[in-house]
Structure 1
Amino acid sequence: MDSNLDYGVAGMQALRVQAEAASYPETLGALIDDAAARNGDQLLAKWIADGQTMTYAEYARQTRKLASSFEAQGIRKGTHVGVMLPNVPAFVVTWGALARIGAVMIPVNISYTETELMYVLTDADAQFLVMDQSAVPVWDAMTEHPALVSDTRVIVHGTPRDGSQSWQALLDAGDEDYVATSTLSRTDLLNLQYTSGTTGFPKGCMLSHEYWILLGSLAAKFRGRGGDVKNVLINAPFFYMDPMWQFLMTMVLNGTAKIAPRISLSNLYNWLVDEDIHYCIFPQPGLKAWPEGPEDRKINLRYVSIFGWTPEARKEVERRFGCVARESFGMTEIGGGLMVPPEAGSKAYERTCGIPAAFREARIVDETGKDVVQGEIGELWIAGRGLLWGYYKRPDANATGFSGRWFRTGDLFRQDADGFYYIVGRIKDMIRRAGENVAAQEVEAAVVSMEGVWEVTAVGVPDKMRGQEVMVVIRPREGVTPDQIDPEAVIAHCASRLAKFKTPRFIKYIDEFERTVSGKIVKRALVDDKTNPRVGAWDRTVGKVLDQAEADAQIA
């Protein structure tokens, strides 16, 4: 181990010891109040699109007021509440209010269709729904509603529908001196976070107050650069986990969250400059969104999180912007797992996910659960404080997903002689598109329900901008020809059942799949490294089947 790396690992271990010895707020409500006591009228958040702002004191006060009104409506400790809101102040206020009561938030993707909304709310046993007015048409279009959510238990942010309640009216009527009527602790459930990170339909990860407190607090400690990071860009949808822990990290750093409505490469540069951003999750394509030059000096980044970048891109972002760019590994189930130390020397430019973060232990094991020899490939297992409780109402998934105190990530890793971990691939059948997890089985279930389809498989096609794009390969029923299963009809069918990011871009037809001895489809044969899987696929972005030249041009 070189001296720089030795120094970096030692520093990381010292931070781990310090972090694990520290005390943390018991609940999210306590974290909000502690931050408000420290910062008062200091700016906590700014919504970039419309200029709305919120101070620390205002946030604490609004969460107490809304909590009192929620409780008056019958929301109690343990009540499950769906929250279907875009990146607006109401999202974080609602989360904080539910946390103060001890209720459980179920974040819902604002782009979900009626089918997806019905699935999540029913599976999660939601009793109330807080939704944006933009999502009301989806609710109204449902042929039936979840059994536990009556119209009077729908709370609309914006113009309320007939029979529902107004989120703003509830906030205005609340008591700012609200005190929780139930005793809360760090191990109480806070979120049912649905994830497609594993095979099958989305499952609800049961995440406690402690999970979120540690995730936000440790992110601040390891990414805060000794107090240099104050302005944090949040531009992913709040119904995913990253924006939520980034918001908590900002409070721990006594900083300001600059919140954009959505991810946008075209707007990224202006946001970084105009909002004086110090930290963000930086997408590698952003390096190509504007040319390198004198304008780079206007950017004041100090630390960026990166995922899967090439060595050249890692060096470029640090050279251009004078920041620290570091990889890590996490997932909804475990929060943070591995991190590359800030002072990692040349190791930082390798595709390593780092070493175990605070409160985390890691193992690489074989199929029998025995540790592999260092350097060999196996499944990464993680243990530690504040992991998910388990998957909601999924005893089989919990039985296979855990081995004692160890969570089985389903990801293949190896460890080098310096103790650094490298991801090799995924055991789980999942497609990763532009930061979104898409369960192949969910896409397959939508397509196979079409008339004329006998079998279908969904795979991830490599894409330089989005990581992967969704492709479905269809085997028609006997006597049905491919032209009888029109690709545009496939897209329309999927679009009525799946969110936009899950809807396939590429469609292929096949007479027979390559199979294993047990009869399972060999997916890797459809996306091998030797051929371009786009060749012969119908591409919905251009509305035609791609020939070799057209397919090659897309990945050039």
Structure 2
Amino acid sequence: MHATIPDLLRHAASTYGRREFLRFPDTSITFGEADARSDRLAGALIDRGVRPGDRVAVMLDNVPGWPLTWLGILKAGAITVPVNMRYRAADLEHVLRDSGAVATVTATDLEHVPGTVYDVDSLSSDTTVPNRTHDVTNDVANFQYTSGTTGFPKACMLTHDYWLTTARLIAGQARLRDDDVMLIAQAYSYMDPQWATLMCLMGGIPLVVLPRFSASGFWASAREHGATLTYVLGTMPLLMHKQPPHPRDRDNRMRLVLCSGIRPDLHRTFEERWGAPWRELYGSTETGPDLGVPIEAVETVGTGAMGPAYPGKEVTLDEESGEILVRGVPMMKGYWNHPEATAHAFRGGWYHTGDLGVRDAAGYIRHAGRLKDMVRRGGENISCAEVESVLTQHPAVLQAALVPIPDELFGELPKAFIQLRPGHAPEPSTAMSVIEHARRRLARFKIPAYVEFVEGFSLTPSARIEKRHLLNQDRDQRTAPAIPVERERS
């Protein structure tokens, strides 16, 4: 067992050396090269004053600099703060301020990043500093921000052991083989490419990193690279399914597709179309992998079952609410700067996921909705409180409430109910003004798709907006008086 991520990298470099580790569209990096280049990055960061325990943000596209910088930051003894490339002023400022990041590693073409900024290419090419690293003296590897609970995004403090255990458990579910090739298309700032990177370090296999997800090009990429394993989630499967059938759909080496939230009614169709088993993986940023369906469990196909708990995990249902509760390892250390939220999340000794579940006749848990004040748009969690805060900064807005409405493609879309200040007209031009205000401050996926003006809100005894009264099930929430304000569905 390796104590830290740098330990794992050094072991992989000495064991697999010249084998291919990272494959990007225009470059390939061996295990040995990744070790040497991340050493150089660590030395460059240390030379610029980064010290053990410092937080360093990474805001990059899916380029080699992302995983190499991550590994370099950890070798410098510091903590990585992954930043979504789609963040804009409000959400970016929140993450950098809340984390206390001493610097952001990014690209030269990003000009809106505040604070100390290091260009990734300059760091990588700096040969004036020695290749040196620090011993990892703190156990936290990442401040991984999540909108999985109410309020603004919080940083989950994820330890080296959390990441190593997560990678090891998923490698076990996948029955990792020496001839495997892992393919990933999600942004590196998300969890999935990060645990996939460590899983490939453990197995000595290549990780193919696509620049972005393309529904029309995904399976062509899988064929091109000989991928045998992948992980998809959110709207990705449905978008692929909506592509016209292709004669070469089953012409691939894929032996397992891991997925979160497989639609039961399409599960068997997915398997038959692309010729590979699809298996559920349930978990969260806070808890890592919790439930997983084994490859051989063909009886679960189409049932929505999320499988047994991973070794080291216990998963149960709250007797009164039906909420899914989790304990064991891996598990976050807590929310940075939020001891009250941490205590609330772990009340009674269990992590409260905010997800509802039901247990089927075979004893497996199926997902049955959520308790959290959030919108799940495809693979993205949107904190309602964060968006509401931005909306209410517009001079015309008195109060705002964001709620999820059902959507066939994305699962849910955000809809904003807005109470205007006196003197402002409830008309489309006002709605567009509010949305343009939000677009300048938030990532595009967080922007409301619909706006509806209301004269006032029903409040709870604690003076909070009572959202359950907003969604009248007797009418389509997209029709008038709702105003569609989304430019494009993405």
**Which deviates more from structure 2 when the two are superposed, residues 274-283 or residues 393-402?**
274-283
Q: Pairwise mapping of residues 78-477 of structure 1 onto structure 2 (< 5 A)?
A: 78-135=53-110, 137-139=111-113, 145=114, 149=115, 151=116, 154-158=117-121, 166-170=122-126, 172-176=127-131, 178=132, 180-182=133-135, 184=137, 188-224=139-175, 226-227=176-177, 230-282=180-232, 283-292=236-245, 294-365=247-318, 372=319, 377-403=321-347, 405-477=349-421
Shift of 1:228: 7.0
* Residue of structure 1 equivalent to 2:485: 540
Instruction: Say which structure is richer in helix.
Output: 1
Shift of 1:216: 1.2
Shift of 1:60: 0.9
Report if the CA contact (8 A) 2:167-2:195 is conserved. Answer: yes
In structure 2, what is the Cα distance between the partners aligned to 1:183 and 1:228? Answer: 30
- 1:47 equivalent in alignment to 2:24: yes
Per-residue CA deviation, residues 191-223 of structure 1 (Å, 9 max, x unaligned), is 011111111111111110001111112111211
In the alignment of these two chains, the number of paired residues is 485
Compared with structure 1, are the counterparts of its residues 71 and 44 closer, same or farther at alpha carbon in structure 2 (3 Å cutoff)?
same
Compared with structure 1, are the counterparts of its residues 192 and 517 closer, same or farther at alpha carbon in structure 2 (3 Å cutoff)?
closer
Shift of 1:520: 4.3
Secondary structure class of the residue paired with 1:230: coil
Letter paired with 2:45: F
Per-residue CA deviation, residues 419-470 of structure 1 (Å, 9 max, x unaligned), is 2112222111011112111101111111112122222111122222222222
Report if the CA contact (8 A) 1:80-1:106 is conserved. Answer: yes
Shift of 1:229: 6.3
**Which deviates more from structure 2 when the two are superposed, residues 400-409 or residues 194-203?**
400-409
Report if the CA contact (8 A) 2:182-2:227 is conserved. Answer: yes
Report if the CA contact (8 A) 2:77-2:134 is conserved. Answer: no
Secondary structure class of the residue paired with 1:69: helix
What TM-score, normalized to structure 2?
0.93
- 1:58 equivalent in alignment to 2:33: yes
Secondary structure class of the residue paired with 1:182: coil
Letter paired with 1:72: D
Report if the CA contact (8 A) 1:102-1:188 is conserved. Answer: no
Letter paired with 1:540: V
Specify every segment of 5 or more residues in structure 1 that has no aligned partner in the other structure, as ranges: 1-23, 140-144, 159-165, 366-371, 544-553
Specify every segment of 5 or more residues in structure 2 that has no aligned partner in the other structure, as ranges: none
Per-residue CA deviation, residues 124-173 of structure 1 (Å, 9 max, x unaligned), is 111122112222x203xxxxx5xxx5x4xx21124xxxxxxx22333x34
In structure 2, what is the Cα distance between the partners aligned to 1:293 and 1:108? Answer: 36
Shift of 1:307: 2.6
What TM-score, normalized to structure 1?
0.82
Compared with structure 1, are the counterparts of its residues 481 and 255 closer, same or farther at alpha carbon in structure 2 (3 Å cutoff)?
same
Per-residue CA deviation, residues 342-386 of structure 1 (Å, 9 max, x unaligned), is 222322321122221121112222xxxxxx2xxx75222211123
Letter paired with 1:221: G
Letter paired with 1:105: T
Shift of 1:306: 2.2
Letter paired with 2:124: Q
Letter paired with 2:453: Y
In structure 1, what is the Cα distance between the partners aligned to 2:99 and 2:85? Answer: 16
Per-residue CA deviation, residues 528-554 of structure 1 (Å, 9 max, x unaligned), is 5543211122223469xxxxxxxxxx9
Compared with structure 1, are the counterparts of its residues 441 and 461 closer, same or farther at alpha carbon in structure 2 (3 Å cutoff)?
same
* Residue of structure 2 equivalent to 1:16: none
In structure 2, what is the Cα distance between the partners aligned to 1:292 and 1:110? Answer: 32
Report if the CA contact (8 A) 2:13-2:31 is conserved. Answer: yes
How large is the Cα RMSD of the aligned pairs?
Answer: 2.3
In structure 1, what is the Cα distance between the partners aligned to 2:84 and 2:386? Answer: 15
Report if the CA contact (8 A) 1:228-1:302 is conserved. Answer: no
